[in-house]
Amino acid sequence: MPVNDNVEYNNLPTATEQRGMYSPPNGNHPQTLPDLWRDGDDIVRDDLPSLTDEQLNDLGWKGPIQMPPLSGTSFFTHTYEWNSETREWASFELSTLDKEKNVEYEKFWDLFIDTDFYNKLKTTASTKLATNVLYTEFIALLDDAKRGHANTTKIQTAFTEIIDDVTFTADEIAKLQGILESTGMSVFYTLS
Query: pLDDT digits over 115-127, tens only?
Result: 999 999 999 999 9
* pLDDT given at position 157: 97
Query: pLDDT digits over 73-116, tens only?
Result: 788 889 999 999 999 999 999 999 999 999 999 999 999 999 99
* pLDDT given at position 75: 84
Confidence of residue 4 (pLDDT cuts 50, 70, 90): very low
Handedness of CA 140, 146, 151, 156 (dihedral sign): positive
Q: Where are the domains of the chain?
A: 1-65, 68-95, 103-187
- pTM assigned to the model: 0.71
Position 128, amino acid = K
The closest of 127, 111, 115, 187 to 152, measured between CA atoms, is: 187
The whole-chain average pLDDT of the chain stands at: 89
Inter-residue contact 81 to 89 (CB < 8 Å): yes
Residue 19 half-sphere exposure toward CB, CA atoms < 13 A: 21
